[in-house]
């Protein structure tokens, strides 16, 4: 029996090189060996204000980017969260088991609450509970995420415990986080002490998957580097250069050490120019494929429906058991 993998990305902003390196690249490597489900977290996107038309378009755009980056809808179940209603059904039941104090400690909630002072809604607060529902519905064994999501995974695991204490064992599988070593946190190009984020207001902070060659060159050129001139991996003193080396290493397959040796005596500028080319070579064909896919929205919609149907069949098996266990009467 193959182990089950589940992961997703919120449908906000533009998918970045950080999302690719920290998440989607790993997903594509897992698709042959595991039973994989990957989804578009569009309900999670609603925790911050979304223009309805933009959100709708972005759902197609993210899906096309998943496919263009190499996720195969035949090998994986790829779907949109809102098209499988069991996510919200389980989320409510888990919400009723979650202590408020626990959610109050969540780093992402604190950060987002600070960023969206005018819209600190209850969804932003219960965001990690919906995420736990996403995972537990499919009895996932492993959840590949970037390091920033570790705390949410911990809540998910604790919720399995709370549920078992109250209702007994055997309903949910205990999921494990799967966090890559290199590239677990790609940093912002302008401020390498912050993570590269797809909903950052400043576009210069990130490389988007669908940026064209010119934009990629320009953004790397203006990336913040550190004082001194030595090209060396040292996160504490050379956060900018270290971030560039990490990106370079993941995309080229060379080790950081190899890169440091190659760039002895060279300047930051050399590294930036070369790195831009490595990224363009990787993302150029992805963008072409993406542009093609986006010309055929009907095809994308059809694939989304197929994905949702396959996901729903699995989600329903779990939610039925949960309804029975907690004493609710399931209609179907």
159 binds, among ligand LTN, ligand ATP, none (CB under 5 to 8 A by kind): none
What is the DSSP code string of 132-187?
Answer: HHHHHHTT-SEEE--GGGHHHHHHHHHHHHHHHHHH-SSSS---EEE--STTSSPB
Other CB atoms within 10 A of residue 72 CB: 13
Q: Which is nearer to ligand ATP, 22 or 128 (CB)?
A: 22
Identify whether 112 is a catalytic site residue.
yes
Beta carbon of residue 328, minimum distance to ligand ATP (angstroms, whole number): 31
Q: Which of residues 172-211 bind ligand ATP (CB under 6 A)?
A: 184-186, 195-199
Instruction: Give the one residue of 124, 145, 241, 293 binding ligand ATP; rule: CB under 6 A.
Output: 145
Residue 200 Cβ, how far from ligand ATP at the closest point, in Å? 6
Residue 115 among the catalytic residues: no
Please choose which of ligand ATP, ligand LTN, none residue 135 contacts, taking the beta carbon within 5 to 8 angstroms, the exact cut-off set by kind. Answer: ligand LTN
What's the min distance (Å) between Cβ of 307 and ligand ATP? 18
Q: Report what 131 binds from ligand LTN, ligand ATP, none; CB cut-off 5-8 Å by kind.
A: ligand LTN
Cβ(209)–Cβ(20) under 8 Å? yes
CB of 108 to ligand ATP, least distance (A): 8
Q: Which of 3, 74, 75, 112 is catalytic?
A: 112
Q: How far is the CB of 196 from ligand ATP (least distance, A)?
A: 4
Contact status, residue 65 vs residue 28, Cβ threshold 8 Å: no
Catalytic residue among 2, 198, 254, 282: 198
Pick between residue 5 and residue 244 the one whose CB is nearest to ligand LTN.
5
Q: Are 210 and 65 in contact (CB under 8 A)?
A: yes
Is 198 part of the annotated catalytic residue set? yes
Angle of helix 297-326 relative to helix 86-95, nearest 10 degrees, comes to 40
**DSSP 8-state secondary structure symbol assigned to residue 238:** B
CA 109 to chain centre: 16
Judged by beta carbon, residue 176 or residue 292, the one nearer ligand LTN is 176
Among 28, 65, 98, 149, binds ligand ATP (CB under 6 A): 149
Residue 13 as a binder of ligand ATP (CB under 6 A): the answer is yes
Q: Which residue is catalytic, options 3, 195, 221, 287?
A: 195
Report CA torsion sign: 307, 85, 127, 197: positive
Size of the site for ligand ATP (CB under 6 A): 22
The nearer residue to ligand ATP, 110 or 330, going by C-beta atoms, is 110
* Integer Cα distance of 125 and 157 in angstroms: 18
List residues near ligand LTN by CB under 6 A. 6-10, 41, 44, 131, 134-135, 143, 145, 149
Residue 87 partner contact from ligand ATP, ligand LTN, none using kind-dependent CB cut-offs of 5 to 8 Å: none
Task: Render 81-128 in DSSP notation, one character per residue.
Answer: GGG-THHHHHHHHHHTTS-HHHHHT-HHHHHHHHHTTT---HHHHHHH
Rounded alpha-carbon distances, angstroms, from residue 135 to 12, 103, 151, 181: 20, 17, 14, 22
Residues in Cβ contact with 127 at an 8 Å cutoff, skipping those fewer than 6 apart: 44, 47, 106, 108, 109
Give the residue numbers marked as catalytic.
Answer: 112, 195, 198
- By the criterion CB under 6 A, which residues form the site for ligand ATP? 9-10, 12-13, 16, 18-19, 21-23, 145-146, 148-149, 184-186, 195-199
């Amino acid at each position: 029996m193959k182990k089950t993998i589940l992961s997703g990305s919120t449908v906000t902003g533009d998918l970045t090189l950080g999302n690719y390196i920290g998440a989607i690249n790993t997903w594509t490597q897992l698709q042959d060996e595991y039973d994989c489900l990957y989804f578009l977290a569009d309900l999670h996107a609603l925790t911050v204000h979304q223009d309805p038309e933009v959100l709708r378009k972005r759902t197609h755009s993210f899906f096309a980017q998943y496919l263009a980056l190499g996720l195969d809808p035949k090998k994986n179940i790829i779907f949109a969260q809102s098209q499988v209603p069991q996510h919200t059904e389980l989320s409510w039941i888990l919400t009723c088991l979650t202590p408020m104090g626990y959610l109050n400690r969540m780093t992402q909630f604190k950060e987002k609450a600070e960023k969206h002072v005018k819209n600190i809604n209850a969804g932003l607060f219960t965001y990690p509970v919906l995420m736990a529902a996403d995972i537990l519905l499919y009895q996932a064994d492993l959840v590949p995420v970037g390091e920033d999501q570790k705390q949410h995974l911990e809540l998910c695991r604790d919720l399995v415990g709370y549920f078992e204490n109250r209702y007994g064992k055997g309903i949910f599988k205990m999921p494990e986080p799967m966090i890559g070593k290199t590239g677990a946190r790609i940093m912002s190009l302008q401020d390498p002490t912050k993570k590269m984020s797809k909903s950052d207001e400043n576009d210069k902070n990130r490389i988007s998957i669908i940026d064209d060659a010119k934009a990629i060159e320009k953004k790397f050129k203006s990336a913040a580097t550190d004082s001194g001139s030595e090209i060396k991996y040292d996160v504490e003193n050379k956060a900018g250069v270290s971030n560039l080396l990490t990106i370079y290493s993941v995309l080229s397959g060379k080790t950081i050490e190899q890169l440091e040796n190659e760039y002895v005596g060279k300047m930051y500028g050399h590294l930036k120019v070369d790195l831009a080319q490595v990224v363009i070579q990787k993302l150029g064909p992805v963008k072409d494929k993406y542009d093609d896919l986006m010309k055929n929205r009907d095809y994308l919609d059809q694939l989304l429906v197929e994905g949702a149907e396959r996901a729903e069949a699995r989600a329903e098996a779990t939610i039925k058991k949960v309804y029975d266990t907690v004493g609710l009467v399931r209609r179907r």
